[in-house]
């Protein structure tokens, strides 16, 4: 409890409320942890950021995921709140849509937003993390601690015990608030899961991923049009490519582990690519393809759902620690960054009343987090398979038309997720409402068409001909019927 003598240390939030700065321990110095440090440091809180790895800014080899990131509206807002949006947009490469590659090497462009030309940005994970850490280091009240691996915690008391992975030295810390930003295999969450009546699920999908690389051309240029996310959809698997600042492409192959395991030598690999990705062999280069494919093993993809995200008034998990998801909607980072925005909003509203802030954060975020986890899995099916279907393309055209006619009423699913701040759960509800409307309209139109044609043709065709005509018309409208919502 603050006393009168502490008043000089008090801060005033955006609502004019005075509060005593907190001592905050953030476990995990990745993207979400370093951004949260900036959000809290900007508000005057004393922040200690603990990362089990060495400093990535000086490390020769950075170990961990390197799937490129797609920065969209939610992440941009969280970066803007700490003054970093423009710096990242200037570095990122805008992607205005998907470029689909068929097995014959022909390409088709599918814009993300044909009406307003909004785009997402390809950004490098390492570069973004470095920018965030460099910015955090400039705050005197943010302290970075590398080689600190959490081994145990008393979340009720706010105590942490850590070890240096290199020297094995044991270190301890205490904080008013512990925030776990330590990823899908969170050590902080492991402490929370021990609690009774805690909801937790971990799901590994049967598909894994492996990264490849397309180099620049001999002239040092991009080997493909660079303002698109390139996709090779092949039904049960797919390959994607995102552009990098150095004119290379990060290529990621997603497919079932059984298929990865069946490719055991160079001949099988080249046969597989000749059959499914023939144009990619020349883009990647035969020798590089063989080398990169067999250099590492395919990595797993996990989805985490849990609730609540807090323990009492002392501990909280956000980002992948709370809601790890498969990467197919490009929202993992954006959702984690949005967590930072939501927590900051609650701090603005309630000062440092953690007994009120943490439960409200959990209640406000869990449903949205579960929703985007489900949407991410749905989007894998869309990207690897549905984008090639005529019904998908017709529905997209219809969505674009209705969005153009009624921009405040009819917002397509992808737009609501990537280009708005609509709650993820509301995005799903909005799509379900649209499906319901379209189903009624299309079925009503089909019945009216059948009746009208029947009236016109009654005297000129047999009943058998009329029945076949009606079936044909109904089949056409069935093609337009939207897929079931996730």
- Could you give the CA distance from residue 128 to residue 124 in angstroms, rounded to a whole number? 6
Query: For tokens 């894994």, what's the residue?
Result: 208
In a domain, 288, yes or no: yes
User: Parallel, antiparallel, or unpaired: how do β-strands 229-233 and 97-101 relate?
Assistant: parallel
Q: What is the pLDDT of residues 185-208, one digit of tens each?
A: 999 999 999 999 999 999 999 999
User: Parallel, antiparallel, or unpaired: how do β-strands 315-317 and 120-123 relate?
Assistant: unpaired
Could you tell me the CA-to-CA distances from 129 to 84, 263, 361 in Å, in that order? 12, 34, 25
In a domain, 327, yes or no: yes
262-290 residues labelled b (16+ CB within 10 A) or e (exposed) = ebeeeeebbebbeebbebbeebbbeeebb
Task: Check which CATH number belongs to the domain holding 231 and give it.
Answer: 3.50.50.60
* Residue 273 sits in the same domain as residue 203: yes
In a domain, 60, yes or no: yes
Structure tokens at 338: 């949005």
* Residue 102 sits in the same domain as residue 241: yes
* Residue 372 sits in the same domain as residue 239: yes
Could you tell me the CA-to-CA distances from 195 to 160, 187, 198, 259, 307 in Å, in that order? 17, 14, 6, 39, 11
Q: Which of 335, 357, 337 minimizes the C-alpha distance to 346? A: 357
CA of residue 145 relative to chain centroid, distance: 27
Q: What is the pLDDT of residues 411-465, one digit of tens each?
A: 999 999 999 999 999 999 999 999 898 888 766 666 666 556 656 555 554 555 5
Domain end point (choices 416, 434, 452): 434
* Residue 207 sits in the same domain as residue 317: yes
Contacts of 300 (CB under 8 A, 6+ apart): 204, 208
Residue 8's pLDDT is what? 40
In a domain, 455, yes or no: no
Residue 117 vs residue 297, higher pLDDT: 297
Residue 356's pLDDT is what? 97
* Residue 215 sits in the same domain as residue 131: yes
Is the model's pLDDT at 147 over the cut of 90?
yes
Q: What is the pLDDT of residues 323-373, one digit of tens each?
A: 999 999 999 999 999 999 999 999 999 999 999 999 999 999 999 999 999
- Could you give the CA distance from residue 178 to residue 158 in angstroms, rounded to a whole number? 6
Number of domain units in the chain: 2
In a domain, 472, yes or no: no
Give the burial class of 180: count Cβ atoms within 10 A of its Cβ; 0-12 exposed, 13-18 middle, 19 or more buried. Answer: buried
pLDDT confidence band for 484 (50 / 70 / 90)? very low
In a domain, 451, yes or no: no
Report the side by side order of strands in the sheet with 93-95: 69-71, 120-123, 93-95
* Residue 106 sits in the same domain as residue 146: yes
Residue 5's pLDDT is what? 34
* Residue 193 sits in the same domain as residue 233: yes
Is the model's pLDDT at 483 over the cut of 50?
no
Q: In sequence order, which ranges of 187-226 are alpha helices (DSSP H)?
A: 187-193
Mean pLDDT of 171-189: 97
3-class DSSP state of 158: coil
* Cβ atoms of 331 and 372 closer than 8 Å: yes
Q: What is the pLDDT of residues 443-452, one digit of tens each?
A: 666 666 655 6
* Residue 378 sits in the same domain as residue 334: yes
* Residue 209 sits in the same domain as residue 276: yes
In a domain, 414, yes or no: yes
* Cβ atoms of 29 and 50 closer than 8 Å: yes
* Residue 140 sits in the same domain as residue 240: yes
* Residue 289 sits in the same domain as residue 421: no
In a domain, 27, yes or no: yes
* Residue 327 sits in the same domain as residue 396: no
| Partners of 161 in beta bridges | 152, 172
Q: What is the DSSP string of 85-108?
A: HHHHHHHSEEE-EEEEE-TTS-EE
What percent of the chain clears pLDDT 90, i.e. is strictly above it?
77
Is the model's pLDDT at 3 over the cut of 50?
no
Q: What is the pLDDT of residues 41-98, one digit of tens each?
A: 999 999 999 999 999 999 875 554 556 799 999 999 999 999 999 999 999 999 999 9
What percent of the chain clears pLDDT 70, i.e. is strictly above it?
86
Q: What is the DSSP string of 383-440?
A: HHTGGGSHHHHHHHHHHHHHHHH-TTT---HHHHHHSS---HHHHHHHHHHHHHHHHH
Structural domain harbouring 428: 389-434
Is the model's pLDDT at 469 over the cut of 60?
no
Which H or E run includes 27?
Answer: strand 23-27
Residue 403's pLDDT is what? 92
Residue 17's pLDDT is what? 67
Domain end point (choices 382, 417, 442): 382
Residue 252 vs residue 16, higher pLDDT: 252
Residue 379's pLDDT is what? 85
3-class DSSP state of 142: strand
Beta strands in 181-309 (DSSP E): 199-214, 229-233, 238-243, 249-256, 299-307
- Could you give the CA distance from residue 48 to residue 23 in angstroms, rounded to a whole number? 8
Diameter of the chain measured on Cα atoms: 97
């Amino acid at each position: 409890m603050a006393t009168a003598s502490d008043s000089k240390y008090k801060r005033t939030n955006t609502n004019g409320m005075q509060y005593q700065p907190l001592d905050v321990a953030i476990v995990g110095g990745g993207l979400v942890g370093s951004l949260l440090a900036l959000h809290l440091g900007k508000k005057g809180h004393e922040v200690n950021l603990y990362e089990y790895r060495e400093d990535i800014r000086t490390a020769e080899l950075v170990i961990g995921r390197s799937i490129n990131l797609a920065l969209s509206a939610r992440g941009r807002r969280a970066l803007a709140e700490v003054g970093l949006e423009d710096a990242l947009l200037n570095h990122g490469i805008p992607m205005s849509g998907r470029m689909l590659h068929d097995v014959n090497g022909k390409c088709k462009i599918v814009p993300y937003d044909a009406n307003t030309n909004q785009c997402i940005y390809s950004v490098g994970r390492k570069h973004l993390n470095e920018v965030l850490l460099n910015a955090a280091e400039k705050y005197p009240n943010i302290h970075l601690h590398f080689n600190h691996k959490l081994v145990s915690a008393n979340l009720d008391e706010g105590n942490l015990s850590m070890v240096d992975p290199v020297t094995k030295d044991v270190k301890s810390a205490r904080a008013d608030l512990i925030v776990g930003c330590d990823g899908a295999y969170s050590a902080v969450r492991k402490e929370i899961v021990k609690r009774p009546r805690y909801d937790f699920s971990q799901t590994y999908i049967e598909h894994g991923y492996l990264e490849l690389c397309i180099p620049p051309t001999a002239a040092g240029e991009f080997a493909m049009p660079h303002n698109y996310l390139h996709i090779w959809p092949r039904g049960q698997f797919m390959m994607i490519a995102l552009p990098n600042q150095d004119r290379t492409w990060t290529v990621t192959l997603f497919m079932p582990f059984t298929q990865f395991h069946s490719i055991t030598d160079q001949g099988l690999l080249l046969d597989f690519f000749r059959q499914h990705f023939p144009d990619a062999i020349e883009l990647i280069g035969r020798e590089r393809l063989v080398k990169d494919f067999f250099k590492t093993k395919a990595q797993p993809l996990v989805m985490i759902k849990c609730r609540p995200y807090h323990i009492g008034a002392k501990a909280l998990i956000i980002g992948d620690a709370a809601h790890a998801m498969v990467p197919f909607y490009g929202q993992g980072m954006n959702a984690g960054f949005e967590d930072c925005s939501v927590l900051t909003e609650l701090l603005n509203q309630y000062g440092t009343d953690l007994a009120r802030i943490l439960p409200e954060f959990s209640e406000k975020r869990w449903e949205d987090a579960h929703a985007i986890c489900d949407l991410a899995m749905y989007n894998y099916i869309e990207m690897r398979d549905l984008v090639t279907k005529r019904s998908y393309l017709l529905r997209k055209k219809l969505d674009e038309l209705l969005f153009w006619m009624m921009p405040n009423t009819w917002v397509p699913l992808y737009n609501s997720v990537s280009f708005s701040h609509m709650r993820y759960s509301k995005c799903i509800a909005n799509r379900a409402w649209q499906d319901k409307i379209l189903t009624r309209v299309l079925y009503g139109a089909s019945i009216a068409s059948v009746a009208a044609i029947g009236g016109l043709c009654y005297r000129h065709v047999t009943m058998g001909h009329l029945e076949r005509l009606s079936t044909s018309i109904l089949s056409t409208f069935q093609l337009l019927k939207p897929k079931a919502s996730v």
